[in-house]
Each structure stands twice: as C-alpha cells, then as structure tokens.
Copies of this chain bind each other. A is one copy, B any other.
Amino acid sequence: MTNIICMDKVELDKSVNHHIALSAMMIKRVFYKILNENKLNITPEQWSILYYLSEIASLTVSELAELTFKDFANISRITHKLEVAGLIKKHKNSTDKRISKFFITDTGKKLVNQVHQCAYKSTNIAMQEIEPQEREIILKSLKQILINTNNYLK
C-alpha cells in the first residue's frame, strides 16, 4: 500500500535527479583518473573551457560562461589558471577596456587533442551496455532538463 499522507516523499533510489548527480560525480572521477594516468595536468572544467576556445577562436568571459553554464566568477578563476599554465592568452579589447578576449595557445591546442582521447575513453567506459537508441533518448531528455532548469532559474 502506498503512503497516502506523504505522497511527495522522494525515494533517492528511484530519483532520476539523484542518479544524475551520482553519475556526474562518478563520470568525473573516471575522467580524472584517465587524465591522471596520461599525466595530463588539467581538470574537466578547465577542459571544457579549453575545448570551446579550440572550437571558437576568441571568446569573452561572458561568452564562456554562457557556453559552459557556469557563472562569471568561476570562468574568471578558471581562465586565470589556464592563462598561468600557458594554455590560453588574454587580450584586452582596445575599444572597450572592460572586455577581455581569450585565445588558445599552441600548447593549449596540443593538450586539447590529448584530452580528446581521454574524454572519448571515459565516455566509452561510462556508456558500456547502453544502446545507441537509449543514448539518444538520454541526450534528448538531458537537453530538455537543461531547458527546464534554465527556464526556472531565469
């Protein structure tokens, strides 16, 4: 018999939300491990910024924040670390001095290619036994979740 009084109790074992959180944590852990094994001194978060700068020639803090769903503060700090590591360069805009544009360096480009292999490997590990058809559904649903949550947070 189901509980009539408390219908809105969440059972973690059956919660999609909770399993997304757990999976994210575990996938990141796998990614970290593979990066470490390959002696690549970069974090998954730094990687996503480096990735976008390898795809799009020049981006500002705000643009990176929008692409990565992170806030300015975090982007600011991560780009600073990437800059210190020599993976990206920062150029002040000459007309509007508030804006900085970031560019990937050659060192950065080399690293991106290596990290791609690690990202690919970690995806394969995580997605074993999951059919392409299911992967499609998951991807579609996760994109829907991003829309839903984004709308709510607006």
Contact = CB atoms under 8 A, between A and B. Distances in A.
Interface of A: 6, 8-10, 12, 14-31, 33, 44, 48, 51-52, 69-70, 113, 116-117, 119-120, 122-123, 125-130, 134-135, 137-146, 148-150, 152-153
Nearest to A127: B16
Nearest to A133: B137
Residue among A52, A129, A137 with the most chain B CB within 10 A? A137
Given A69-B26, A116-B8, A17 B135 contact: no
B141 A134 contact: yes
Contacts of A150: 26
30 contacts: A6-B113, A10-B123, A12-B51, A12-B52, A14-B139, A16-B127, A16-B139, A16-B142, A17-B31, A19-B142, A20-B20, A20-B142, A21-B24, A22-B142, A22-B146, A23-B149, A25-B69, A25-B70, A26-B149, A26-B153, A27-B149, A29-B149, A33-B152, A125-B148, A125-B149, A125-B152, A129-B148, A130-B141, A134-B141, A138-B138
A9 to B, nearest CB: 5
Residue among A12, A70, A127, A148 with the most chain B CB within 10 A? A148
